[in-house]
Amino acid sequence: MPAYSPELNLIEMVWKTAKYHWRRFINWNKE
């Protein structure tokens, strides 16, 4: 497996974005 793979990087980007929005959604629901 190569050290850098575009597919893996894309998944990581999507995952980080999803977690970021998920946290905002949870915090928004707490208020």
Q: What is the pLDDT of residue 1?
A: 55
Q: Which pLDDT tens digit goes with each residue over 6-31? A: 888 899 999 999 999 999 998 888 87
Q: What is the pLDDT of residue 22?
A: 94
Tokens 């905002």 sit at which residue?
24
Q: What is the pLDDT of residue 3?
A: 66
Dump strand ranges (E) for 1-31: none
* Angle, CA of 10, 12 and 13, to the nearest 5°: 65
Q: What is the pTM of this model?
A: 0.53
Between CA 17 and CA 31 the distance in angstroms is 22
